[in-house]
Structure 1
Amino acid sequence: MKYATLDNGTPDGQLAILSDDGQTCRLPQGATLQSLLDGAEPSPKGAERPFDETTCLSPLPRAYQFLDGSAYVNHVDLVRRARGAEMPDRFWHDPLMYQGGSDSFLAPTAPIPGDPAWGIDFEAEVAVITGPVPMGATRDQARAAIRLVLLCNDISLRALIPDELSKGFGFVQSKPACAFSPLAISPEDLPGWDGDKLHGTMHVELNGNPFGRADAGEDMTFDFPTLIAHAAKTRHLAAGTIIGSGTVSNRDPDGGPGKPVSDGGRGYSCIAEQRMVETLLEGEAKTPFLQPGDRVRIWMEDDEGRSLFGTIDQTVAS
């Protein structure tokens, strides 16, 4: 099944259940995606109507919990090197994860707010929404709890991160509200889903130019069952918990840090990675972080070139 949430002026929006081709939808009266995840039976669906993804909120406009991992350790390595920090060996064996704000997500076409001096960056990610997960869940229990898959733009304020992390107490100011794709899809209906991760190209475009073409199924050190079980080690997870993969990141076949799309590589899913590669190869970072008016588009396609989740299409606010 394919689900979306339409903006009806309420905090949780109106659930939309899409047709197989995604061209039309039906609106169960008074239903939200969270109520569906909680086990409520949808009320009778209204008449079939055209679906317009530009009217969508994030599938869960707010969630009980958003936990974001860093499953692509190549990204962790590059970004830490950009901060002059070494990466402990345990990062290859024990996932990183932070608890992000979840009381209000941006719509997939909402402007990105913020001061350019904060170093505004996008991060293209895959995410899953879970049903209830018991504390101490096994990988099998975690896998069985995955209800929906979607994409995320996890916005980061790079200039604020070093000072905040130096306090030893995690992200707060440097991780503002993020946005999710218009559609969330059941795993069984999703091409490229193997039960643990999503295989497919993460398309990222900056100001109309190809920026990233990384494969989400490659170089993912920690898959979603691992991330979910990690999150549930000491707590129960409520239905509607969102688990992010962290920035999708690939290495070159020769083991290098990756090349820009313009140089025949797969590019990057955030600006920080490109800046780190520029620093490694040229001695300094040249690509600026986002400025007012910059436009970021994030999407994935099926084998026939059709958009799977719709498009996150955001412009930095003036």
Structure 2
Amino acid sequence: MKLATYKDASRDGQLVVVSRDLSTAHYATGIASRVQQVLDDWRFMAPQLHDLYELLNSGKARHAFPFDPLRCMAPLPRAYQWVSGPAYASHVERLGSIPAAALPPGLYAEPLLRQGGSDGFIGARDDVVVASEACGIDFEVQLAVITGDVPMGASPERALDGIRLLMLASDVCLRSLGALQGRPVTAFGPVAVTPDEAGDAWRQGRLGLSLQTTWNGRKVGLCDAGAGMTFHFGQLLAHLCKTRPVSAGSIVGAGPVSHPDWSHGYSCIAEKRAVETADTGKPKTRFMQFGDTLRIEIKGKNGQSLFGAIEQEITPPA
């Protein structure tokens, strides 16, 4: 099934069920009002939402209405925690984010997870407000999962069972401010989907579909999200659970989608600049500026958008 959160002037919005083709929606009134409620009582509420989802897809839901991505908050507008990768060795190697001596040949030993701000995410069509162009505005286009409860010490296989929903994400990075302060905001696609919505493209914790990134109307990336993924989502989540349990409503991202074959483009500007520096001695591609636009989307094997598109503009403070 596919779930979204509509804006209603509250912090957590209103839960809606969205049809498979993203054409119609229905409030989940009477079942749950927020996504977190569903995550807290998944076994009881998810089957009821699925029944509503089937009615919506069959055209028999009595109070259906046209789905509008402009009304969407992030599917989970705030979360207990937001942790991200990177899960792609080619990205780590190109950026040189860990010393070569510490890397096994072509790989790194364990995921390098980092905690991000989770007190408030933005919706797929919300403007990205940045204090200054001098911050080095970048995007990190990635996939993320929302978890149920996962116990401490869970194996990768057990951790995979704890994944409830998949999402499309864009992490805004301010490269000039460093790792601690340089990640001010994260946007998520209009809808979150259960893994079965991806069909056989979801396999062993990887999503084998291409992620398309368009910057100012120009396609800059068309990367297979599964092919270059060194650590799958079960491994990322199990690594997080090594020393603590993970609560329902946690979000885990896999970092910028990357591929060893550079002809597929890029999912973050810093990686592009690193390749340029290696080739010519200096970067050529600039970071984002006010007025720049970004569009991100993944289409299923049927050609339909899986999560809906993230479409945003970089803007200065009001």
TM-score over 0.5 (shorter chain): yes
Equivalent residue for 1:112, pick from 118, 122, 128? 128
Residues 1:89 and 2:142 aligned together: no
Equivalent residue for 1:175, pick from 173, 179, 183? 183
> How many Å apart are 1:86 and its aligned residue?
4.2
Equivalent residue for 1:206, pick from 207, 215, 238? 215
* Secondary structure class of the residue paired with 2:129: coil
* Secondary structure class of the residue paired with 1:136: coil
Residue segments in structure 1 that go unaligned for 5+ positions in a row: 162-170, 253-257, 259-264
* Secondary structure class of the residue paired with 2:22: coil
Whole-angstrom CA distance in 2 between matches of 1:156 and 1:95: 19
Deviations 1:29-68 (A, max 9, x none): 2611111111163699771111111211110010011110
Whole-angstrom CA distance in 1 between matches of 2:180 and 2:111: 19
Residues 1:20 and 2:34 aligned together: no
Residue segments in structure 2 that go unaligned for 5+ positions in a row: 53-61
Residues 1:273 and 2:289 aligned together: no
Deviations 1:174-194 (A, max 9, x none): 111111111111011213111
Whole-angstrom CA distance in 1 between matches of 2:81 and 2:170: 16
* Alpha carbons 1:80, 1:87 under 8 Å: kept: no
TM-score by length of 2: 0.89
Whole-angstrom CA distance in 2 between matches of 1:173 and 1:228: 24
Whole-angstrom CA distance in 1 between matches of 2:127 and 2:4: 19
Whole-angstrom CA distance in 1 between matches of 2:226 and 2:267: 14
- What is the count of residue pairs matched by the alignment? 296
Q: How does 1:127-166 map to 2 (within 5 A)?
A: 127-161=144-178
Deviations 1:81-129 (A, max 9, x none): 7xx9646216611110001000000111111122111101001101111
Could you tell me the percent identity over the aligned residues? 42
Q: Which amino acid aligns with 1:306?
A: Q
Say which structure is richer in helix: 2
Q: Which amino acid aligns with 1:221?
A: T
* Alpha carbons 2:204, 2:232 under 8 Å: kept: no
* Alpha carbons 2:221, 2:265 under 8 Å: kept: yes
Whole-angstrom CA distance in 2 between matches of 1:286 and 1:70: 24
The aligned counterpart of 2:82 is 66
Whole-angstrom CA distance in 1 between matches of 2:135 and 2:121: 19
* Secondary structure class of the residue paired with 1:316: strand
Q: How does 1:222-301 map to 2 (within 5 A)?
A: 222-252=231-261, 258=262, 265-301=263-299
The aligned counterpart of 2:72 is 56
Deviations 1:294-313 (A, max 9, x none): 00111101123221100111
Q: Which amino acid aligns with 1:272?
A: A
Deviates more, 1:23-32 or 1:225-234: 23-32
Whole-angstrom CA distance in 2 between matches of 1:269 and 1:88: 25
Q: Which amino acid aligns with 1:96?
A: L
Whole-angstrom CA distance in 1 between matches of 2:302 and 2:242: 40
Whole-angstrom CA distance in 2 between matches of 1:291 and 1:80: 25
> How many Å apart are 1:138 and its aligned residue?
1.1
Whole-angstrom CA distance in 2 between matches of 1:65 and 1:107: 17
The aligned counterpart of 1:262 is none
Whole-angstrom CA distance in 2 between matches of 1:111 and 1:276: 27
RMSD of the alignment, in Å?
1.8
The aligned counterpart of 1:317 is 315
Whole-angstrom CA distance in 2 between matches of 1:101 and 1:20: 30
The aligned counterpart of 1:36 is 38
